[in-house]
Amino acid sequence: MPIDCEICSGSREDPAYPLIGESEFWIVKLAPNQSLLGRCVVATKRHVGDLADVTPAELMDFLEVVRRLEYAIRQSFSATMFNWSCYMNVAYRNDPPNPHVHWWLVPRYRQQVEVHGLTFKDPHFGHPYDHYRWQEVPPEMRNYLVREIGIRFGLADSY
């Protein structure tokens, strides 16, 4: 029996992954874990299971998403740099797996950031981040993050 793809079947209204923006071939959502402020997931709109099968047009469009999203998060929260990773490990816990290409964008911070009374630190700056360090933020804060990043992501063509 084929395994459903969680990304393809994911609603644009899913409160766990609110929509930040999109391009022609990619969709950008806020991740639940905000221990590193501004963490996002960037997925292909098309169901494709391996980076090697992404088309040149999708890849060029991805570069534009990288530029716009990094710009947006730098402007919003003064992120120092960014870790981009494409793992797809979870899909392979099923056999057969049904992976769907998605990138984690994890902003990294040399300094701590305060937003609306909440403090965000990057204790492993300069090293791999701790995947298990988890910080959720209240719904109003999530809305704020989506708005702040989303508006700049949308405006980034003019930077």
Q: Which is nearer to Zn ion, 8 or 155 (CB)?
A: 8
Amino acid at 135: Q
Other beta carbons within 10 Å of 128:
9
Residue pair 99/66 in contact (Cβ under 8 Å)? The answer is no
Is position 100 an interface residue for Zn ion (rule: CB under 5 A)? yes
> Residues 37 to 56: which contact Zn ion by CB under 5 A?
47
For Zn ion, which stretch binds (CB under 5 A), given 17-25, 28-36, 93-101, 133-141?
Answer: 93-101
Minimum CB–partner distance for residue 133 and Zn ion (Å): 28
Is position 28 an interface residue for Zn ion (rule: CB under 5 A)? no
Minimum CB–partner distance for residue 30 and Zn ion (Å): 19
Q: Which is nearer to Zn ion, 59 or 155 (CB)?
A: 59
> Residues 51 to 90: which contact Zn ion by CB under 5 A?
none
Contact with Zn ion (CB under 5 A) among 3, 8, 60, 86: 8
Going by C-alpha positions, the residue among 34, 33, 35, 55 that lies closest to residue 44 is: 55
Is position 7 an interface residue for Zn ion (rule: CB under 5 A)? yes
Helix axes 56-77, 139-155, angle to 10 degrees: 120
Q: Pull the structure tokens for residue 12.
A: 């644009």
Residue pair 37/72 in contact (Cβ under 8 Å)? The answer is no
Q: Which is nearer to Zn ion, 46 or 121 (CB)?
A: 46
Counting DSSP H helices and E strands in the chain, the numbers are 3, 7
Instruction: Summarize as ranges the residues that interact with Zn ion (CB under 5 A).
Output: 5, 7-8, 47, 100
